[in-house]
Amino acid sequence: MNILVRYRVQGSTAKEISASVEAGVRGGQLAPGERLPAVRELADQLGVSPTTVAAAYGDLRRRGITAGAGRAGTRVRGAPPVSSRGYLTVPAGTRDLITGGPDPDLLPSLPARPAARPARLYAQAPVSPRLQRLAAEQLASDGIDTTSLMVTGGALDGIERVLATWLTPSDRVIVEDPGHAVSFDLVAAMGYTAVAVPVDNLGLRPAELAAALTRGAGAVIMTPRAQAATGAAWDADRAAEIGAVLRRFPSVGVIEDDHAGPVAGVPVFPVSGRFPGPGRWVVIRSVSKSLGPDLRLAVLAGDEATIARVAGRQALGTGWVSYLLQELVADLWADPSVARVLRTAAQAYARRGAALRSALRDHGIAASGRSGFTCWVRVSDEDGVASSLAEAGWAVAPGQRFRIAAPPGVRISFATLEADDAVLFAADFARALRQRPSRLD
């Protein structure tokens, strides 16, 4: 059905047309992936000039609501920042291998809070002194410079605040491909242009990273381990190669998103804060994957100017991350029994990932991954394979949500998948491929 029939875009100015499209997206009448009318077609329908419609479409793209232009047309993004479509949903009656979060049974129990702890008042430091000390010890043990630290409301909050201090609209941001879907959406919503760089089992590929930096970029977002789509992780050699590339572009801001931290299953080999080079850098260590998704807290270590700017901007908004939350995280980090829980969790995730990759390999299916909770299997018909697996009772994520230019695939989140279930899943995956000849070697 023609979009102009099903949803009538209105307006006589670029601002009004943009607002009308946004209202349609927000209300669900314009679905993710929906193609908007061509510029001249909508201009004729509304009785305005093509220049007016083009300006409206440009505004929508800059705000991350739509993507594409030219002959490819303009489409509503997969998760525009005017809706609640941030994460994929699990079909009823299927086993959740979509979400990508930790196993609830492997999270530490939250301690009871003491009743008489003094409350944080205005004009105090934004970071709890005890949390700062524990965070500095943890990060320094990984070889990261902890001279300047800050706390934000999770990793994405930290990424957003850092990018805002570094960049101006339309700047280019290098991202991993396949990668973190919500980071793609954040970059678009902030008005930046995402530049895709491919990854392999060791993370960002240095030659392609160098080529992208040569073409120009203001920042790069990298994952040192537990890569969100593929489970990739740097080793010491790859980290050194990436560091050597970055030293050639010292003006580029570098964000290392170490979101899984101690439960990633492999050591971390950070680039920022260790190698001389990036003048602007941040390492982000979130607690959501290790301590629990509802603990919206991440520690940022970075260069002095960046951390000062993040702190200054936060002071004009939320002010600080709740000291109650900071002290709760400090309690957990200081508890030796929690450290044992985290070691057990890391071992369990590593064991489950290895079991899944082995079970798939027994059927001739190659799956990526060395760390974290996810792996990636290349297929030519990602929606078809995901649909076949859903019919068999398994919910996996079609790869389109996690890739920009990378070949099609499906993402499998194995955090709760024990070895016996991995064998059953792999057999069903092989059947799905036989029904739809879609595996790529």
CATH number (domain holding residue 355): 3.90.1150.10
pLDDT for 161 beyond 50:
yes
Mean pLDDT of the chain: 91
Q: In angstroms, rounded to a whole number, what is the distance separating the alpha carbons of residues 319 and 161?
A: 13
Average pLDDT for 205-226: 98
Shared domain check, 347 and 268: no
Average pLDDT for 168-193: 92
Shared domain check, 384 and 430: yes
Burial class (CB in 10 A: 0-12, 13-18, 19+), 117: exposed
Residue 111 belongs to a domain: no
Please report the pLDDT score of residue 84 as a whole number. Answer: 57
Average pLDDT for 284-301: 96
pLDDT tens across 253-281, in order?
Answer: 999 999 999 999 999 999 986 655 558 99
Residue 85 belongs to a domain: no
Shared domain check, 195 and 53: no
pLDDT for 227 beyond 50:
yes
Residue 311 belongs to a domain: yes
Residue 90 belongs to a domain: no
Q: Give the end of a domain, one of 280, 315, 334.
A: 334
Shared domain check, 211 and 229: yes
Please report the pLDDT score of residue 26 as a whole number. Answer: 86
- Six-digit token string for 235: 């080793």
Shared domain check, 352 and 238: no
Shared domain check, 66 and 159: no
Please report the pLDDT score of residue 441 as a whole number. Answer: 42
Q: Of how many residues is the chain composed?
A: 441
Peptide bond into 178 cis (omega under 30): yes
Shared domain check, 208 and 131: yes
Q: Residue 212's domain is classified under what CATH number?
A: 3.40.640.10
Residue 159 belongs to a domain: yes
Q: Residue 50's domain is classified under what CATH number?
A: 1.10.10.10
Please report the pLDDT score of residue 364 as a whole number. Answer: 97
Top pLDDT among 83 and 210 is at 210
Q: In angstroms, rounded to a whole number, what is the distance separating the alpha carbons of residues 27 and 44?
A: 25
Percent of the chain with pLDDT over 70: 92
Top pLDDT among 120 and 102 is at 102
Please report the pLDDT score of residue 312 as a whole number. Answer: 94
DSSP reduced 3-state for 350: helix
Please report the pLDDT score of residue 440 as a whole number. Answer: 45
The band of 335, judged by pLDDT with boundaries at 50, 70 and 90, is: very high
Residue 283 belongs to a domain: yes
The band of 70, judged by pLDDT with boundaries at 50, 70 and 90, is: low
Top pLDDT among 437 and 420 is at 420
Structural domain for 373, as ranges: 95-104+338-435
Please report the pLDDT score of residue 250 as a whole number. Answer: 92
Please report the pLDDT score of residue 85 as a whole number. Answer: 53
Strand partners, 379: 439
Range of lowest pLDDT (73-77, 209-213, 354-358): 73-77
pLDDT tens across 6-58, in order?
Answer: 789 999 999 999 999 999 988 888 888 889 999 999 999 999 999 999 999 98
Shared domain check, 427 and 386: yes
Give the angle subtended at the CA of 26 by the CAs of 100 and 409, to the nearest 5°. Answer: 35
Residue 248 belongs to a domain: yes
Count of structural domains within the chain = 3
Strand partners, 150: 300
Residue 420 belongs to a domain: yes
Shared domain check, 254 and 173: yes
Shared domain check, 418 and 274: no
Shared domain check, 363 and 277: no
Q: In angstroms, rounded to a whole number, what is the distance separating the alpha carbons of residues 163 and 375?
A: 28
Shared domain check, 222 and 329: yes
